[in-house]
Amino acid sequence: MSAASASPQPAEASVLPQEPVVSLSGRRIADADDWFELIAACALKGPTRELAANLVFVAHTDEALRVSLAPGFEYLRSERAMEELGTALAQRLGEAPRWVFEQGAAAGESLHERVHRERDERQGDAEDAFLNDPEVQRLMQQHGARVVPDSIRPYNE
């Protein structure tokens, strides 16, 4: 028996493919929707959550994460909240962002503004659907029924 034939041969059938390693390093926030998803994934609490919800995403480059904070909300930008937000984002982005705050109101909307806008849209849709229901119309016309202001709510709320 030769030395070459004595060495064990690897069994190809037992070799399992390795899962690809996914690196978060270098991930960039593409747009406001990506920003909102990222903020939601961080499960922030307290003042840090309020800060993140009121930031308007502007851009994310290799150099910095550019955001805007609406006038009147500057008090949310505390050192502690910024540090906690940076730490939470670092877990998702692979590194803590370098912040650049744009002056004045940005063209986009904050998560807080989006939530309120979407809630107002759902409320308007619920009111329209209720008031345009044929049975409600019949009750209003035939019996003088009136809708109590602010009594209509979207079904899922």
| Alpha-carbon span 128 to 76, nearest angstrom | 37
Its pTM stands at: 0.68
Cβ 154 vs Cβ 123: under 8 Å: yes
- Compute the half-sphere exposure of residue 117: CA atoms within 13 Å on the CB side of its CA: 7
Q: Which residues pair with 55 in a beta bridge?
A: 69
H or E element that contains 55? strand 55-60
List per-residue pLDDT tens for the chain, 157 residues long. 444 444 444 433 333 333 333 334 467 899 999 999 999 999 999 999 999 999 999 999 988 999 999 888 999 999 999 999 999 999 999 899 999 998 876 678 999 999 999 999 999 999 999 999 999 999 999 999 999 988 999 987 6
Residue with tokens 């399992």: 16
